Amino acid sequence: MRIKNFDEDKHILYLVATPIGNLSEMTPRAIEVLNSVVAIGCEDTRVSKQLLNNFNISKKLISCHEHNEEQASIELLKYLEDGNVAYISDAGYPGISDPGHRLLLKVLDNGYKVSVVSGANAMINALIGSGLDTTHFYFHGFLASKHSTRIHELEELKNKKETLIFYESPHRIEDTLIDLKTILGNRKAVIARELTKRFEEFIREDLNTLCEIDVSTLKGEMVLVIEGNKNNEKVSETEVLSYAKNLISNGINTKTAAKLTAEHFKVSKNAVYDVLIKK
Ligand code: SAM
């Protein structure tokens, strides 16, 4: 379905990003949009009231959080009948480890439009400042709090080549670092703390070293950025072979198949070629 957001035929829900720390991250567009709507849905009315007061924005606030999103979405739909509506979470983008997604689905389902107002986001700042590979990355958000589930999640991620990004809280950071080290093995790893705030800090180390840090110094909000799996030996010969053979069966010559397979699995071309001619 093709929808032109700014043809003024239907009302729109704006998902508006708000600062992750530094108030100056509130964009002029966010202020303009929030001032223009008939009501604002928000994760926590106390947090949002404080934010909006800073910018002299006075609007009807509707509480819409993780535990009432379904019901609150219905209430916000009523406001959409009268005009445009905005939704803000406590910090950063709605829908990124925050409520907003279910509201979006409901709004679209009811024939209204959705637009996103750009702004701050913790994982992007952390990734870009980490110094780790930004070409391909995987954002996981929070790991499960139950230990066995967390271990299972990490097992699933351990062969990923992409840079891994996690949100974490100070009270769980110690356990999480130990689990990361145990399951992923030692790798380059970065803690990005208190981003955009007075005490912003990047700790660019490896997992072994991060596990040695006195956790009482790891306060505030933080993002973990972990190097992807660089251990090419983890790719099984069978996997490589089947990929290459598939290319060959599609008419690609052995040399080119070896080259393409090597690029795909990020392994050496000669190693693939050797396997291919051996079989
Ligand atoms: N919606 C937000 C976003 O777009 O980034 C994320 C909300 S999530 C509930 C909160 C988590 O984001 C924190 O536990 C922390 O991992 C991360 N975070 C938020 N603000 C941060 C900051 N200023 N510095 C470091 N991490 C931050």
Higher pLDDT, 267 or 256: 256
**What backbone torsions phi and psi does residue 205 show, to the nearest 5 degrees?**
-140, -150
Ligand 1: nearest atom to the Cα of 21: 23
**What backbone torsions phi and psi does residue 233 show, to the nearest 5 degrees?**
-60, -20
CB contact at 8 A, 54 and 72: no
Higher pLDDT, 132 or 243: 132
| Residue 233 confidence (pLDDT) | 52
| Residue 185 confidence (pLDDT) | 96
Report d(CA 268, CA 92) in Å as an integer.
41
| Residue 115 confidence (pLDDT) | 98
Nearest CA to ligand 1 atom 16: 167
pLDDT band at 237 (very low <50, low <70, confident <90, very high): confident
End-to-end CA distance of the chain: 49
| Residue 266 confidence (pLDDT) | 66
Higher pLDDT, 277 or 1: 1
Local structure of 221: helix, strand or coil: coil
Model pTM score: 0.84
- Taking alpha carbons only, the member of 36, 41, 28 closest to residue 90 is 41
- Tell me the pLDDT of the chain averaged across its residues: 94
| Residue 273 confidence (pLDDT) | 81
Task: Measure 221 CA to ligand 1 centroid, in angstroms.
Answer: 6
Ligand 1: nearest atom to the Cα of 17: 4
| Residue 265 confidence (pLDDT) | 80
- Taking alpha carbons only, the member of 270, 200, 209, 261 closest to residue 235 is 261
Q: Residue range 138-151: average pLDDT?
A: 97
| Residue 103 confidence (pLDDT) | 98
CB contact at 8 A, 175 and 218: no
Encode pLDDT of 173-186 as tens digits. Answer: 999 999 999 999 99
Task: Measure 204 CA to ligand 1 centroid, in angstroms.
Answer: 18
Task: Measure 190 CA to ligand 1 centroid, in angstroms.
Answer: 15
Whether 276 has a pLDDT exceeding 90, the answer reads no
Report d(CA 230, CA 138) in Å as an integer.
15
Ligand 1: nearest atom to the Cα of 95: 1
| Residue 270 confidence (pLDDT) | 76
| Residue 275 confidence (pLDDT) | 77
Min mean pLDDT across 12-16, 212-216, 228-232, 263-267 is at: 263-267
Encode pLDDT of 191-210 as tens digits. Answer: 999 999 999 999 999 999 99
| Residue 63 confidence (pLDDT) | 98
Encode pLDDT of 64-117 as tens digits. Answer: 999 999 999 999 999 999 999 999 999 999 999 999 999 999 999 999 999 999
Encode pLDDT of 20-44 as tens digits. Answer: 999 999 999 999 999 999 999 999 9
Q: Residue range 246-275: average pLDDT?
A: 84
Whether 271 has a pLDDT exceeding 60, the answer reads yes
| Residue 235 confidence (pLDDT) | 62
| Side-chain-facing half-sphere of 9: CA atoms under 13 Å | 6
CA–centroid distance for 255 within its chain: 39
Higher pLDDT, 272 or 56: 56
Task: Measure 51 CA to ligand 1 centroid, in angstroms.
Answer: 16
Q: Residue range 233-248: average pLDDT?
A: 80
